[in-house]
Structure 1
Amino acid sequence: MLGVLSVDNEKLGQTGDEPQTEELVDQIEDDLTIQLEEMKNNWLRAMADLENLRRRATREKEDALKYGAVAFARDIVGTVDNVQRALESCPLTDDLPAHIQALIKGVEMIGKEISSVFERHGVKKVASMGETFDPNLHQAIFEAESTDQQPGTVTQVLQDGYVMYDRLLRPAMVGVAKAPSS
């Protein structure tokens, strides 16, 4: 494996005793083989660690790009709620003055634009009404007895919840059906 190792018998203090020299050469070859295997294993571990580090850095970079705006999105969902409340409080009707109709249409356009931006960045409303209560997506504010809904079903949405890709920005605040007491 390593080739023939020449050893000067006189330097080793031997007088031509071949079996001891061969044993010494075999021992040195065995030691070097063990050291080589250890170095090879250490090198393979270092390469695996380096590859794992590259993968983790790539994943963290992708997550940073994907979820970097989570804090901003959490802050902006309150603005979306306010735009929706404004539209609900003043429905567009023909008997309103033209400047008020224009104002309402402008607020509607703002709402649509925000929805479009949310869609482009993976922000979605949590589907709640009529769904089974999910503590990972919903926050139960109250329970109400119900005969027409299964217990644990969301019967009322007080505030919409939002997710960004697979991360919860804000849980939906909901009312949940419970079985009627007998």
Structure 2
Amino acid sequence: MAAPCRTVLRSVTNFTSAALFRSTKPRYSTRYLATTATETSKAEDVEAAKSETPAEGETTSPADKKLTEEKAKLDKELKEYKDKYVRALAETENVRQRMKQQLADSKLYAIQGFCKDLLEVADVLQKATETVPAEEMKNNPTLKTLFEGLKMTETQMQKVFSRNGLEMLNPVGEKFDPNFHEALFMAPMEGKEPGTVAVVSKVGYTLHSRVIRPALVGVVKAP
């Protein structure tokens, strides 16, 4: 009878001990373990960074100082080369624009020499029509026909001039402008404002607003 009782008592004791052991065993969740591992890793990183950062007051090594100076030198050279590059681009663009303008001007004023030669012909026609007396044309049909032919030729020539940008300057009564007129003489004249053109000895011409021959004029002088 005593043996079975001891067996039962031993079984109860073992069961109680196992239950107590399970109740006192710490329970850690997966989230708790992951958080702990992360905090540990961060702490290690901070310690490593502190160990790599030179302490306050610690002087840099000669190699680091040399690298810093070399970097500053290279930065300065880079800035200088960049500035030169930008200036070179600007100068190239200016040259391109000047060449473009010169090319356009050369095309626009290519006929300037030819126009100057034609002006002599226009002057002869103008003088010829101005010197024909009106009274003689009334009594001479042949002279009248010749005059009309010269006048038509002169008119047609002026139309051709205008189509090619050649314009006549006949500034009678206008203010004297040294950019377009050349004064041959100055004289006081009653009833005319001083500084105005009174007489045009030879008309001038412009080619696309550029003077190729100034008008030869007489200017009114103040009395």
The aligned residue for residue 52 of structure 1 is 94
The aligned residue for residue 165 of structure 1 is 208
Bigger Cα displacement from structure 2, 171-180 vs 146-155: 171-180
The aligned residue for residue 187 of structure 2 is 144
The aligned residue for residue 73 of structure 1 is 115
Which of 59, 62, 70 is equivalent to 1:20?
Answer: 62
Decide whether aligned partners of structure 1 residues 61 and 38 sit closer, same or farther in structure 2, where only a CA change above 3 A counts.
same
Structure 2: distance between partners of 1:23 and 1:45: 33
Matched, 1:84 2:126: yes
If asked which structure has higher relative contact order (CA below 8 Å, sep 6+), I would say 1
Question: What CA deviation, in whole Å up to 9, does each residue of 1:126-145 have, x standing for no partner?
Answer: 24100112222222223332
Matched, 1:156 2:199: yes
Tell me the amino acid that sits aligned with residue 200 of structure 2.
Answer: V
Tell me the amino acid that sits aligned with residue 152 of structure 1.
Answer: G
Shift of 1:32: 1.4
Decide whether aligned partners of structure 1 residues 151 and 22 sit closer, same or farther in structure 2, where only a CA change above 3 A counts.
same
Question: What CA deviation, in whole Å up to 9, does each residue of 1:42-97 have, x standing for no partner?
Answer: 11111111101100100111111122222222222121111112222337857544
Decide whether aligned partners of structure 1 residues 149 and 101 sit closer, same or farther in structure 2, where only a CA change above 3 A counts.
closer
The answer as to whether partners of 1:147 and 1:179 remain within 8 angstroms in 2 is no
Unpaired segments of 5 or more residues in structure 1?
A: 1-16
Structure 1: distance between partners of 2:180 and 2:167: 12
The aligned residue for residue 128 of structure 1 is 171
The aligned residue for residue 115 of structure 1 is 158
Unpaired segments of 5 or more residues in structure 2?
A: 1-58
Asked which structure has the greater CA Rg, the reply is 2
Tell me the amino acid that sits aligned with residue 71 of structure 1.
Answer: G
Q: Percent identity?
A: 34
Structure 2: distance between partners of 1:49 and 1:174: 45
The answer as to whether partners of 2:170 and 2:200 remain within 8 angstroms in 1 is no
Which of 34, 45, 61 is equivalent to 2:76?
Answer: 34
TM-score calculated relative to the size of structure 2 = 0.64
